[in-house]
Amino acid sequence: MTYVNLTQTQNGFLANLMDTLSSTFAKIGQDLIKKRMYRITVKELSALSGSELADLGIHRAQIRSIAYEGAYGAE
């Protein structure tokens, strides 16, 4: 007599599905945090005056690249 245990297969499938969903949502959360960090950095640096940026050694044209590097790392 042949016996098939579908419960174990379904549990394995559901466990894999839950792991996949969990890691996907974790990545989405990390991506949202990075995006928020980028926007905040751009906003704060853009609010500085030209002389304040010059004191920091930053040209206004560099703001987005500096914010990107700060949020996502150097690539």
Q: Is residue 24 part of a domain?
A: yes
Q: Is residue 34 part of a domain?
A: yes
| Residue carrying structure tokens 């560099």 | 62
CA 16, 18, 21, 26 dihedral sign is: negative
Q: What's the domain count of the chain?
A: 1
Q: Is residue 43 part of a domain?
A: yes
Q: Is residue 1 part of a domain?
A: no
pLDDT of the chain along its 75 residues, tens only?
666 665 555 568 888 888 999 999 999 999 999 999 999 999 999 999 999 999 999 999 999 999 999 999 976
pTM above 0.85, yes or no: no
| Residue carrying structure tokens 């949202």 | 32
Residues in CB range of 50: below 8 A, 6 or more apart: 60
Q: Is residue 41 part of a domain?
A: yes
C-alpha dist (Å) from residue 29 to 25, 38, 66, 72: 6, 14, 22, 14
Model pLDDT, residue 12: 80
- Residue 14's domain spans which residues? 6-72
